[in-house]
Amino acid sequence: MLLALSMPKPALAPLGWVALGPLCLAVARTASRPAPRGPRPFLLGLVTGLVAFAATISWTSDVLAIFGGLNAVLAWGLAALLIAYLAVYPAIFSLALTTAVARAGTAALAVAPLLWVGTEGLRGTLFTGFPWVLLGYSQSDTVAPLQVASLVGIYGLSGLVACPSAALALLATRDRRRSRPHLVAAALLLALPAAGAAWGAWRVGQQALVQGPAIRVALVQGNIPQGQKWDPAYRDRILDRYLSLTQEASQQRVDLVVWPESSTPFVFGRDGLQTEVMRAAVRRARVPVVFGSDEVVDEREFYNAALVMDERGEIIGSYRKMQLVPFGEYIPVRWLLFFAQPLVEGFSDFSAGESLTLLPVGAHRLSVAVCYEAVFPWLSRRAVGQGSQMLATITNDAWYGMSAAPYQHFQQARVRAVETGRYLVRAANTGISGVVDPYGRIVVQSPLFQTGLWIGEARWLDGHTVYVRLGDSLMWTCMLVTGAVLLLPLWERARRHGRSGHV
């Protein structure tokens, strides 16, 4: 529950620092028991994961029921399967930590942050990954500790947040005969977050990342209900809303307008009349527009794309979404899902883009993450490495209603700005739209389900953070450590068997 409460909503950030403490303590007590321990180490983490994910991503059932056309029972069943799958990763953490403590004593609790990062990294990469509500995201609102993400990314920040939990478990389980090593390890684990926060406060105070050329960005929040989005009866009304807000933005002398994901109520370029109406309106506004639209090559190849139209009404760049949403934009192992035919039958798979393309805006370069892509740190890191001077996210979070999902999504996108040292501009159909500076501070933010225009100042920036240079090397190292710990019993067993066989 501490894990869940530290995430949006209610985003009680201090709880994140101690959230793993009860689990670490339970693992230490389990590991101190004489073997065999049975399934208890695995079950401790599994229960932790079931409660945490049930409380944070249960909104997936509503998405499947309302927009997937499933009955409530089946929707809840599929959501429960996802929750159960995600709970396996805390269970692996618990199993690895039990193995470490059983062999090295309770002092091995000090490696809990490394093992947690290893299992979060596995969750974020295996089967295309689902890096949602990672522990580090609990600190999205705490500016000073958040700066650590510029060094080691979100996974490294998760490890830092896990340190006090491990320290508390060490202090609660220390053996009097070995009290000094426990106290030293606990002191180091508590000193790391303090040092990280102090460095982060200093970094923010320097204001070195807000010195580039300024640009006024207008974020258009169309607030189109999902049920109307592709209804031909609403097509002209929807397009008129976006064009009217764009004209209003041009009168306020903005330099760039950003529309949300799939904002055009038609396939741009395929519907000649609507396409020309849009081109003419942008020429009158005389401002470049980044917008989302489906991009169709043929009936088997179509993409969720972001395009940029210049002041002349010409398309000068496009990006095709690479990281698609399972069960949202494509059906994995479709042939196995016989029990979810209502969802599968009415669904056409999008194609995945093959390359990360930067969009030109004048003399500068902008990278776009389409919706779900914003939670994958490697995408924005690679874009900045290729020359992106600003991050943009276009999304449609209407699917999530008034649940915690839009807040979780926005908080996770904020961390990309800190990791890469770039401004982030985000346009969402129903919100949350906003501008975030390279320190993760919100410049402007819209409420949910309001139609309007939000204007904020951003800057084109150059240079690379440590994270952009080194990437997720810490996360991969932690994954290797976790794997080695889990394989240790097998190695010991094989070694004993080898000795007995030799004798």
Q: Judge if 385 and 295 occupy the same domain.
A: yes
Q: Judge if 219 and 348 occupy the same domain.
A: yes
Q: Judge if 455 and 480 occupy the same domain.
A: no
Q: Judge if 106 and 228 occupy the same domain.
A: no
Range of the domain at 144: 2-206+472-502
SS3 (DSSP) at 485: helix
pLDDT above 90 coverage of the chain, percent: 75
One-letter amino acid of 340: A
Q: What is the pLDDT of residue 333?
A: 59
Of 238-252, 293-307, 399-413, which range is least confident?
A: 293-307
A 10 A CB-CB count for 32 gives 15
Q: Judge if 104 and 43 occupy the same domain.
A: yes
Number of domains in the chain: 2
Over residues 332-338, mean pLDDT: 58
Helices (H), 223-299: 235-251, 272-285
User: Mind giving me the DSSP string for 326-378?
Assistant: BTTTB-TTGGG-GGGHHHHHT--PPPPP-S--PEEETTEEEEEEEGGGGG-HH
Length of the chain: 503
Over residues 13-41, mean pLDDT: 91
Q: Judge if 274 and 421 occupy the same domain.
A: yes
Residue 363 to residue 356: CA distance in whole angstroms: 19
Residue 417 to residue 456: CA distance in whole angstroms: 15
Residues 89, 18: contact at Cβ < 8 Å? Answer: no
Evaluate the CA torsion angle 288, 291, 297, 299 in order and state its sign.
Answer: negative
- Report whether pLDDT(265) > 90: yes
Q: Judge if 120 and 182 occupy the same domain.
A: yes
Cis peptide before 36 (omega within 30 of 0): yes
Residue 366 to residue 307: CA distance in whole angstroms: 11
What is the per-residue pLDDT across 430-487, written as a single tens digit (0 to 9) for each? 999 999 999 999 999 999 999 999 999 999 999 999 999 999 999 999 999 999 999 9
CATH value at residue 339: 3.60.110.10
Q: What is the pLDDT of residue 302?
A: 87
Annotated catalytic sites, by residue?
261, 321, 371
Q: Judge if 344 and 424 occupy the same domain.
A: yes
Q: Judge if 77 and 28 occupy the same domain.
A: yes
Q: Judge if 493 and 417 occupy the same domain.
A: no
Q: Judge if 384 and 248 occupy the same domain.
A: yes
Q: What is the pLDDT of residue 50?
A: 98
Q: What is the pLDDT of residue 61?
A: 87
Residue 444 to residue 221: CA distance in whole angstroms: 13
Q: Judge if 262 and 200 occupy the same domain.
A: no
Average pLDDT, the chain: 91
Residue 145 to residue 180: CA distance in whole angstroms: 28
Those residues with Cβ within 8 angstroms of residue 118's Cβ, 6 or more apart along the chain or in another chain: 93, 96, 475, 478, 479, 480, 481, 482, 483
Of 48-62, 338-352, 362-376, 456-470, which range is least confident?
A: 338-352
Q: What is the pLDDT of residue 346?
A: 47
Evaluate the CA torsion angle 65, 70, 73, 76 in order and state its sign.
Answer: negative
Q: Work out the widest C-alpha separation in the chain, in whole angstroms.
A: 89
